[in-house]
Amino acid sequence: MHYLKSVKLMIDRVPSAPKRPQELSKHGDVRNDPWFWLRDIDDPGTLEYLKAENAYTEAIMEPESALQGALFEEMRGRIKEDDSTVPQKDGDYYYYTRFEKGNQYPIFCRKRLSLDASEEAILDVNVLAKDLDYCRVGSMENSPDHKLLAYSMDADGSEIYTIYIKNLETGELLADVITNSYYSLEWANDSQTLFYDVLDENHRPIKIFKHHLGADLAADELVYQEMDERFFVGVIKSSSKRFIYVAATGNNMSEWWYMDANDLRTSLTLIEPRREDFEYDVEDHGDRFLIRNNGDGAEDFKVSETPIASPASANWRDLVPHVLGRPIGGITVTRDHLILSSRDNGLPQIRVMEHATGDSFDIAFDEEDYSVGVMEGREWDTTTLRFSYSSMTTPATIYDYNIETHDRELKKQTEVLGDFSSEKYKSRRVLAPAEDGTLIPISLLYAKDTPLDGIAPLYLYGYGSYGIVVDSNFGSARLSLVDRGFIFAVAHVRGGMDLGWGWYENGKLLNKQNTFTDFIACAEYLVDQSYTEKGRIIASGGSAGGMLMGAVANLCPDLFKAIVADVPFVDVLNTMLDDTLPLTTMEYNEWGNPNEKSFYDYIKSYSPYDNVKLQDYPHMLITGGISDPRVTYWEPAKWTARLRDSKTDSNLLLLKIHMDSGHGGASGRFDRLKEVALEYAFALKVFGLSATTG
């Protein structure tokens, strides 16, 4: 009884963050932000408020604790826990990753000469994570002679990595420990020299260093330093293993440098200088560079070739021409072939081209809606192309494709345990007309026995930023909703690059509102077509997709039953005015620079935090991560505080700040499922279906 009274007390005591007037002024416009103070994690009131919100969420969801546990066990029960990846050959070794039953983290392994050889576990992440609440391995590269392993680890979700080097012959860690790194590291071909990136005080990777094993880290040579705060830098080794590349990338801009991976006396050589709205990336083959780029008006990208001896764009010659509406997303190069990853009518395609003859062909796929991706191998001299394939009804499937015979060999299909069968489900791709008549693709998944009479609850996911494509892939966790009668849908709104660069351009900068109205149009279309009805839709999105959630909640709240916003980027105007944050300056090309009045006014017109109104809102579940460097914890916290102060309804408003993780949520594979179980239990609760456990 004491516990129940405590729960009731927590439910009755709705959290409230005090208002502290904070006047902000820009371009003569004065705003008052009474929750600006929540940015200060050292203010005792900040943690007090976050803990109160977490306790409130726990109390509200306590009646669904059994359901949440059942959902977790159900989702975990579909996973083959003792699983492994398809091995990749690299010289004398076969490298692969496996999981053991009950363990949260992978074990990285290899076998020498044969898959029948004894296994060597080269890195057990479960051991690394033993005493940690969070553990993620960022980069991992074996040395070319296979004697050493360099890997980076983040122990708190902050995306600040420490690089360690392990002697694979003795199992010992070397004394060389490199701190304050980000996501890239590469070996020179001598197996004794490591290239790595370093973060500045604003969490931007701006320097590349070269370290020789055993040398004083303080004496490491600075190879490259980025001076433009709109760019991040990374180090990459070419597929041929011939070059070390340094890539400086901004939003829609890039610049590449190269040096000989065999001769460390050489210095970096620039391939082509950066310029506004010019993006390229590089691979090498023989005496030429192969360059995917958007030069000369090739907005959906083309592939050019240029001599390595004189790589500047004046010498570029088109190899694969630009085709409007067929964006080339990436290239993969082997000794004999160039593989193009592109999209046609929004669906992924793979084209294979022979270097010697220029002959090419496409690999065909049959389903109406699907996801496919090239898996880059470790070997240069190969006629085997490995790719992954899945759809919303087909679990992830790995094929080895023989480029010479055109035969494909099934290597592995992810096993889904329990009574799963693809035959029980239906997947469709439909087109919804947007406000301006543009047809927006929607991917749908539902059980074949779900009646399409407008009664089904519908879970609608969206993102729509940075040109990122949300593919129609398989997810076993979502079956826990679909098996309970939900329709699961993905709205491929503008702001992604699903249908080409124009699709992206029409959902960014001064066209950003299209992303929001596209999503609303998709929801309305699904109502019109009797998949569901108004007020029976749960909208979901994370990060920039969380901005989408905040915008549609402000614009059309009665269309949705509930909103799930994970690590939502909602305080857009304040964030884009703060150039000390890691991503701000880099993303001026995405959202606009609010130091210019036209962008300031436009961002202010849609920024979810700035547009919270005195109105009814749907049920809402909002999450954040205390150590998140991308969307800082105070964005969801401030948004929640303002919503509590403004909303005129009695619907649920729950905030969950994860106190031991960052942007990506929990690091363990089962802990992540607990977060999904919370979201799904919330969805079932607001629909009054929480008593249904199967």
Q: What domains appear along the chain, each with residue ranges and CATH number?
A: 156-278 (2.130.10.120), 428-686 (3.40.50.1820)
Q: Which residues contact 4 (CB under 8 A, 6 or more apart)?
A: none
Instruction: State the residue for tokens 């609440």.
Output: 133
pLDDT value of position 10: 55
pLDDT value of position 694: 42
Concerning whether 663 is annotated as a catalytic residue, the answer is yes
Three-state DSSP class for 84? Answer: strand
Would you say the C-alpha torsion 226, 228, 234, 235 has a positive or negative sign? negative
First to last CA, the chain: 29
| Backbone phi and psi for residue 224, each to the nearest 5 degrees, phi listed first | -155, 140
Provide the 8-state DSSP code for 255. Answer: E
Distance CA 87, CA 637 (A): 44
Distance CA 17, CA 619 (A): 20
Task: Select from 189, 244, 241, 197 the least CA-distant residue to 220.
Answer: 197
Selecting among 285, 663, 667, 690, the annotated active-site residue is 663
According to DSSP, the β-strands at 653-658 and 93-98 are: unpaired
| Backbone phi and psi for residue 223, each to the nearest 5 degrees, phi listed first | -90, -40
pLDDT value of position 13: 84
Would you say the C-alpha torsion 223, 228, 234, 237 has a positive or negative sign? negative
Task: Select from 216, 215, 218, 213 the least CA-distant residue to 198.
Answer: 218
Residue 602 is inside which H or E element, if any? helix 597-606
Q: How far is CA 608 from the centre of its chain?
A: 21
Q: How many CB atoms lie within 10 A of CB 169?
A: 9
Distance CA 261, CA 192 (A): 12
Distance CA 538, CA 544 (A): 17
Is the whole-model pTM more than 0.85?
yes
| Backbone phi and psi for residue 545, each to the nearest 5 degrees, phi listed first | -70, -25
pLDDT value of position 693: 44
Provide the 8-state DSSP code for 79. Answer: B
Selecting among 143, 543, 627, 690, the annotated active-site residue is 543
Task: Select from 388, 364, 363, 384 the least CA-distant residue to 375.
Answer: 388
Q: Are 290 and 269 in contact (CB under 8 A)?
A: no
Burial (CB < 10 A; 0-12, 13-18, 19+), residue 287, is exposed
Low-confidence ranges of the chain (pLDDT < 50): 1-7, 693-694
pLDDT value of position 628: 87
**Half-sphere exposure in the Cβ direction for 587 (13 Å, CA):** 23
Task: Select from 78, 105, 102 the least CA-distant residue to 476.
Answer: 78
Beta bridge partners of 167: 148
Q: Are 141 and 185 in contact (CB under 8 A)?
A: yes
Distance CA 513, CA 213 (A): 52
User: With helix as H, strand as E and coil as C, how does 397-456 read?
Assistant: EEEEEECCCCCEEEEEECCECCCCCHHHEEEEEEEEECCCCCEEEEEEEEECCCCCCCCC
Distance CA 148, CA 434 (A): 54
Selecting among 304, 628, 661, 690, the annotated active-site residue is 628
Three-state DSSP class for 122? Answer: strand
Residue 70, token pair as written in the block: 């059942």
Concerning whether 543 is annotated as a catalytic residue, the answer is yes
Distance CA 496, CA 463 (A): 8
CB-based burial, 544-577: b 16+ in 10 Å, e otherwise? bbbbbbbbbbbbbbebbbbbbbbbbbbbbbbbbb
Q: How far is CA 10 from the centre of its chain?
A: 35
Provide the 8-state DSSP code for 671. Answer: H
Beta bridge partners of 317: 305
Strand ranges (DSSP E) for 27-90? 29-32, 88-90
